[in-house]
Structure 1
Amino acid sequence: MTRFLVAPDKFKGSLDATEVAAAIGRGLCAAGADVVELPIADGGDGTVAAALAAGWTPVPVTVSGPTGEPVRTTVARHGDDAVVEMADACGLVRLPGAPAPMTATSRGLGEAIAAAVADGATRVVVGIGGSASTDGGAGMLTALGARVLDGDGVPLADGGAGLAEVASLDLSGIDLGGTALVVACDVDNPLTGEHGAAVVYAPQKGADPAQVATLDAALSCWADVVADATGRDLRDVPGAGAAGGVGFAALAVLGAETRSGAELVLDLVGLDRALDDVDVAITGEGSFDAQTLRGKGPAVVAARAAARGIPVVVVCGRTTLSDDEARTAGVDHVFALQHVEPDLDRCVTDASALLERIAAAVTSSVL
């Protein structure tokens, strides 16, 4: 019996990665195949879910959402390792209503890290995709024991706009107890300037042009103060602008290591072990395009499977890649929902049923 590894990412706006894997798996099983499901992620939303699907242990914690309201999130644990996810703790998906580009905070991420440290983790993997804030990581540091102060020694309110008033940073309260932090990061933006956190990403979080300018100036003030407190000016380091500047704070203050989100998460969920005993690998995401090939999860699955001589199938909602481009990425077959259902709205609403149908076509094409 042919054994399939089903390792997709989410179909954004339609199904999460676990639901995609389950739908494809049902179709394959109905066709008589043996299936191993391994949902994947790249450091954004779905990262903790991927770890849990791979057998990690959930540890529920309550943290501050992006506007300060309490939310329930999960820390994934396995041995001495923990995974925390900014998207689920205090990301865009946690906004209670309208965006809050000037006041949204990364505090909840810091609280999740603190919970993992208190629980005994010696390494914490931090997924920072899907953030709602542009606060330079100040909220995260505050939750870990830092004091972000104005000229009168008064703690600043949460949010990026308030950093325009920052005058000093007291780091004496931070103690991670030797816990190492590894940040899953796939962007190379600096903290400030035309390619920085505010200019590039704050509009996606609801900021208008005037607010973008305010936030960029505030991040410059923040970078000056952090440099004074740490003796290191890392505002221009690639990745400093990730997650509204959380990357900057993690690198400059917490001494974090950064790694490709997709590569890191796929190592955590055991992709290589899963590939040891399968005949065909199926991966995919909502849109299989040029962006996918820039190191996103499905591209990593394809590369690792192809390197072992395992046939690779991509199942997606839509694709803009040619057959030659797919083959260059190690992909043998591409099946898109848009090829069996021209109504794009139905591709979203009926994705699960369509994926089951496509799975039958996969088996007849590759067996």
Structure 2
Amino acid sequence: MNKIILAIDSFKGCMTSEEVENAISSSLNSKEIEIHNIPMSDGGEGMLEAFITVMNGMIVETKVHDPLMRPIKAQYGITPDGTAIIETAKACGLTLMTAEERNPLIATTYGVGELIIHALQGGCRNFIIGLGGSGTSDCGIGMLKAISDSFPTEKTIKDIIYDEMRDCRFTLASDVRNPLYGPEGAAQIFAPQKGATEYMVVELDKRAIEFANKSAILIGKDSSQEPGAGAAGGLGYAFLQYFNATFRSGADLLLDLSGFDSLLNGTDLVITGEGHADAQTLMGKLPERILRRSQLQNIPVWLIAGRVSQSNKLLSEGFQRVYSITPECMPTEKAVIPDIARENIKRWTDAHLLSIIR
């Protein structure tokens, strides 16, 4: 065993990708093995840090409004070539509200528009937008309003898009492929996770249909059923409809930028993972994308997660080994404490990884 790649997604609400990978690599501490840590994100939590790391960018901070229009400071990134990296959850994330405050009928993406305008005024024209972790379901209306508010009142959003922002290019990073509305749409599938009641889900879906109809008339096309339109509570739709954005798997985009395929040359083992792994992991999530690329070069892939279910399905799809780092008897509320998770990772590393290196 000479070379190992660690490409592990964040353990959401617990540890960042970088923290998980550092916990493993620091436990190995071997001069005889080449270890490559690649911070990972599929466009959700940790997206900003992961993309900035692989693109050698810097972090910028500015004042914006959170989902409830409270003033906050939010970060985004700028790369050496002037590309803005925006993790939308920094401005409209679910974690910016307490459980009691969450209400997708009023939560807004206004702060995302403010981040875009700040980057635009700083000279950025290319944008990579991570769409995970939102606490909103406003179809991007708030984002569009913030952009409109930053220009003279006589200019419509259509004027702004086709005149002031005609040189801007948006790439959306997400693993969500849902349409804007309907049985598989943003409201039906994701709004309950953001605090929506059954009544709210119906109302949100109705609002999405109305906004899509009006937008189709205004812009002359309808992006509401495109894959990814339902991402981030319909924020994906606003980018597709109004800015002709390009949708990419966040995992694949990051893997391409990091030169992952080239790095696989001479690799003996790839270790990937996420907070909870099950059959949905195989539906285009980051570990699955890493598995497929590694399989093309016949490199074994191990999957680790805080919790694992349906491990037989994961093994049958090609993961050589699948591990849950959390003891079965440990309650989840304890397992997600960062220090406890770190101890569990070290225990797993000592028990399963060190043995094949020695």
Q: TM-score range by the shorter chain?
A: 0.7 to 0.9
Instruction: Evaluate the alpha carbon distance shift between residue 292 and residue 210 of structure 1 in structure 2; reply closer, same or farther with a 3 A threshold.
Output: same
* 1:129/1:102 CA distance change after superposition, 3 Å: same
* Paired residues for 1:1-367 under 5 Å: 2-29=2-29, 33-54=33-54, 55-78=56-79, 79-95=81-97, 98-145=101-148, 170-174=157-161, 175-276=164-265, 278-323=267-312, 325-326=314-315, 328-329=317-318, 331-338=319-326, 342-345=329-332, 346-349=334-337, 350-360=340-350, 361-365=352-356
Q: Deviations over 1:231-281 (max 9, x none)?
A: 112222232222111111111111111111221232234433443454321
Q: Give the RMSD, CA atoms, in angstroms.
A: 2.5
Checking the alignment, whether the CA contact within 8 Å between 2:10 and 2:45 is kept in structure 1 is no
When normalised by structure 1's length, the TM-score is 0.86
The count of aligned residue pairs is 346
Q: Is the 8 A contact 1:28 1:35 kept in 2?
A: no
Q: Equivalent residue of 2:136, what SS? A: coil
Determine the C-alpha separation between the residues in 1 that align with 2:309 and 2:157: 50
- Is this contact kept in 2: 1:28–1:356, CA < 8 A? no
Contact 1:146–1:171 (CA under 8 A) maintained in structure 2: no
TM-score with structure 2 length normalisation? 0.88
Provide the C-alpha distance between the structure 1 equivalents of 2:335 and 2:275, rounded to a whole number of angstroms: 10
Q: Give SS of 1:291's match.
A: helix
Q: 1:224 to 1:80 in 2, by over 3 A?
A: same
Return closer, same or farther for 1:63/1:313 CA change in 2, 3 Å cut-off: same
Partner of 1:151: none
Does the C-alpha gap of structure 1 residues 145 and 276 become closer, same or farther in structure 2, counting only changes over 3 Å? farther
- The whole-number CA distance in structure 2 between the counterparts of 1:115 and 1:238 is 28
Identity %: 35
Distance 1:19 1:229, change over 3 A: same
Match of 1:92, as an amino acid?
Answer: L
Residues 148-185 of structure 1 deviation map (CA, whole Å, 9 limit, x = unaligned): xxxxxx9xxxxxxxxxxxxxx74223322412101123
Q: Quick one: distance in 2 between partners of 1:354 and 1:334?
A: 15
Which consecutive residues of structure 1, in runs of 5 or more, have no partner in the other structure?
148-153, 155-168
Q: Is the 8 A contact 2:76 2:85 kept in 1?
A: yes
After TM superposition, the structure 1 stretch with the greater mean CA deviation from structure 2, 302-311 or 204-213, is 302-311
Other structure's SS at 2:205 match: helix
Q: Cα 1:297–1:366, aligned 2, differ >3 Å: closer, same or farther?
A: farther
Q: Look up the equivalent residue of 2:17 and give its one-letter code.
A: A
Q: 1:64 is aligned with what amino acid?
A: H
Instruction: Note closer, same or farther for the CA distance 1:200–1:112 as it changes in structure 2 (3 Å cut).
Output: same
Change (3 A) 1:288 1:212: closer
Q: Letter of the aligned partner of 1:66 in structure 2?
A: P
| SS of residue in 1 equivalent to 2:187 | helix
Asked if the contact 1:137/1:248 (under 8 Å) is kept, the reply is yes
Return the letter of the residue paired with 1:88.
K
Distance 1:277 1:139, change over 3 A: farther
Tell me, in whole angstroms, the C-alpha distance in 2 between the residues paired with 1:325 and 1:99.
34
Separation in structure 2 between the aligned mates of residue 363 and residue 292 of structure 1, nearest angstrom: 26
**Alignment partners' CA distance in 2, 1:197 and 1:89:** 19
1:24-43 CA-to-partner distances (Å, cap 9, x unmatched) read 11112169643221120111
1:323 deviates by 4.9
Post-superposition offset of 1:117:
2.7
Decide whether the 8 Å contact of 2:282 with 2:314 is kept in 1: no
Question: How many Å separate the matches in 2 of 1:348 and 1:197?
Answer: 28
